[in-house]
Amino acid sequence: MVGCTGGGDGQRERHTVTDGGNNSISTLSIWSEKINGKGEDGPPLILLSDDYSFGVIAVSDGVGGAGSRQVHVGGRLASGAKIAATNLLEVLLVFFKGAWLQTPPDGNTTASLGVGTSPGAGKHQPSNQQKPYVVAKVGGCSAYLLNGAVCGPSMAHHIDVLSKTIDYAFEKMNREITEAQSPSRLKSKILRNLPSTLAGWVYRTEPEREITAFWAGDSRCYVLHADGLRQVSRDEAKGNYDSFEAIWADPPLTNYISEKTPNCIQRKSLLCDNPAILICASDGAFNYLPTPMDFEFVVLSALNSSETMQDWANKLAERLLAAAGDDVSIILHPVGFSSFENLKRNYKGRLEKLDGEFLGPIKALKDKEAQLERELASLKAVAKENTKEAWSRYRDTYDQYLHDGDLL
């Protein structure tokens, strides 16, 4: 496990406005299956305190190769990868609710926003004190507000305990598994009953802004500052590839969550003084874009052209899904912004720098390359026609003996 600290010199903003209007700030969630009903990403999890001062966001991605076998768990038949990814996020939900909730005098413990289709969403009765918080979403997600929640002194400690909780839950699920009649044809030593990657953030804004990334596998955690995107998690995969090289290499994983315990969850803690966007994403959200620069550009260009959080969600989903060849799960959680316009202004300069300094010159070269390819294609077509015309004249003598009789 890894620990580090970092920060900035900007003025800290400690409040987040969620007034339910066009200028409100909320969490953005996108979840999409490449093949409807056959996806192996769990619906993203959003769990926040009712004053938004702390919370957890997380995504999961079932490892389809290792978990292709169909299994029964709790009366449900699906691939082990799908069941692992979905149930993993439910384990997180139960764990953090238990870690943070204190029963208030009226006995009301939970305000729930059932905004998705995942099992467990919307089962709790809303509190009268529920805030006007609406998740900007595309596809299903599980989102909850907790009344009476209290954050402990060490958020990183939660991750250490969470790992043991996942071990217990996955061992219990594994004991319930009965294999389906048609086992997987995949013959491999790495087959697992319940394999899934995991990536998420635990954060708080008081007394100081502390953020802790946690992950297993190649789903990623990022922080997006005004001066650029930073990858916080390290892909747990074979080979010493950087984030650009890994897109092309697609190396096999060396770690993920499964029934093979003990599970290892990596973590990294940061002190984040500047406003930022916390991002967690499955590989389907970023791995089909040419570079990490393009991923950041897609996020910020969609933001810059949007008028509301939901508009941003719709446009970002459209652009990510146009490139993706896999299921897509991503959560973007803004911290420290007073309005949507404030959020847009914060990243306007960065978007311009991305375009002008990084991607713009590359695009200009690609445009020139495309122009030259068109010119080359045109020249080839002209050359082909000229060759045919020359051959037509040349063959008058070349074919003479093929058609004339004996000349002796």
Residue 15 lies in a domain: no
CA dihedral in degrees (323, 329, 215, 226; nearest 10)?
A: 70
Same domain, 341 and 392: no
Q: What is the mean pLDDT of the chain?
A: 81
Task: Give the pLDDT confidence of 266-303 residue by residue, as tens digits.
Answer: 999 998 778 999 999 999 999 999 999 999 999 999 99
Residue 174 lies in a domain: yes
Q: What is the pLDDT of residue 180?
A: 45
Task: Give the pLDDT confidence of 44-61 residue by residue, as tens digits.
Answer: 999 999 888 899 999 999
pTM of the model: 0.80
Same domain, 262 and 348: yes
Q: What is the pLDDT of residue 112?
A: 47
* Rounded (10°) angle between helices 292-304 and 340-353: 140
pLDDT band at residue 23 under the 50/70/90 scheme: low
Same domain, 397 and 253: no
Same domain, 356 and 393: no
Same domain, 67 and 216: yes
Same domain, 192 and 313: yes
CA R_g for the chain: 27
Same domain, 107 and 178: yes
CATH code of the domain containing 68 = 3.60.40.10
Same domain, 255 and 168: yes
Same domain, 159 and 273: yes
Task: Say how far apart CA 328 and CA 40 lie, in whole Å.
Answer: 10
Domain that holds residue 44: 28-361
Same domain, 299 and 386: no
pLDDT band at residue 376 under the 50/70/90 scheme: very high
Arithmetic mean of pLDDT, 132-145:
87
Residue 408 lies in a domain: no
CA angle 260, 263, 267 (to 5 degrees): 160
Structurally, the chain folds into a number of domains equal to 2
* pLDDT higher than threshold 80 for residue 243: no
Task: Say how far apart CA 304 and CA 320 lie, in whole Å.
Answer: 16
The residue among 303, 333, 344, 339 whose CA lies nearest residue 320 is: 303
Longest CA–CA separation in the chain, Å: 121
* pLDDT higher than threshold 90 for residue 388: yes
Residue 23 lies in a domain: no
Same domain, 381 and 341: no
